[in-house]
Homo-oligomer: A and B are copies of this chain.
C-alpha cells in the first residue's frame, strides 16, 4: 500500500474541501462500500466528522449495528467506480469484486481501507442522537492514512446525480489566523 500514517489533527484538510467519499463497513467479516457526498468536519483534534447515510442502504444498517467504518477518499480516475457503488446494493453485489476495489486491513477497526483511494480514515461512531431523524452519524477518526506522493489530489465533488466537479488548482491567501 502506498499510504502512510497521517497526523490526526490534519484530517480536516482532507475532508474540508468536500470530496465524494467511499465508506466501507463490515458485517460478519463481509465488507461493503457505499458512495457518499453529504459529510462535514465537526472538530479538529481529535477529528470529528458527521456523515448523512441513506437509511435504505445496507451500509446504514451495518454502521448502526457495528459503529465502525472507514472513510476513503477517491480521485477522478475512480469516478466510474464511485457511481457504480452508488448504483448497486451490497445486499446483491460484492462491490469490491465488481468494481475492482482492493480491501486492505485497517489497524483500529474491522472494515477495510480501499487500496485505490489516496486517503483512508478509520472511524468509530460516537453519537447517534440524530440518526433517527436525519440519518446523521457523528464519528471520531481514530487512524488516518494518506499517500504522501499526492499533494493536490484530483478529488471529485458532487454537482448532481451523475455530475462531478473535479478539484482544480490550489491557491494560497495570506491569513493572520
Residues of B within 8 A of A43 (CB): 134
Shortest Cβ gap from A55 to chain B (Å): 11
Q: Known contacts being A37-B16, A38-B41, A168-B167, is A175 close to B159, with CB within 8 Å? A: no
- Asked if A103 is an interface residue, CB under 8 A from chain B, the answer is no
Query: CA A43 – CA B43 in complex, angstroms?
Result: 22
Residues of B within 8 A of A13 (CB): 158-160
- Residue A90 CB within 8 A of the other chain: no
Let me know if A108 is at the binding interface, CB within 8 A. Answer: no
Set of chain B residues within 8 Å of A166, measured between Cβ atoms: 168-171
Q: Which chain A residues in 31-45 approach chain B with CB under 8 Å?
A: 37-43
In this complex, the member of A18, A82, A133, A157 whose beta carbon has the largest number of chain B beta carbons within 10 angstroms is A18
Pull 28 A–B residue pairs with CB atoms less than 8 Å apart, ordered by A.
A13-B158, A13-B159, A16-B159, A17-B158, A17-B159, A38-B40, A39-B40, A40-B40, A42-B134, A43-B134, A50-B50, A127-B130, A127-B133, A127-B134, A129-B130, A130-B138, A134-B138, A155-B165, A157-B157, A162-B172, A162-B173, A162-B177, A163-B171, A163-B172, A164-B173, A166-B169, A166-B171, A168-B169
Binary flags per residue of A85-105, CB closer than 8 Å to B gives 1, else 0 = 011000000000000000000
For A29, what are the chain B residues with a Cβ–Cβ distance below 8 Å? none
Contact of A159 among B50, B165, B170 (CB under 8 A): B170
Given contacts A83-B175, A168-B168, 20 further A-B contacts (CB under 8 A): A16-B159, A38-B42, A40-B40, A40-B50, A40-B52, A80-B173, A82-B173, A86-B175, A86-B177, A87-B176, A127-B130, A152-B165, A159-B170, A162-B177, A163-B170, A163-B172, A164-B172, A165-B167, A166-B171, A168-B169
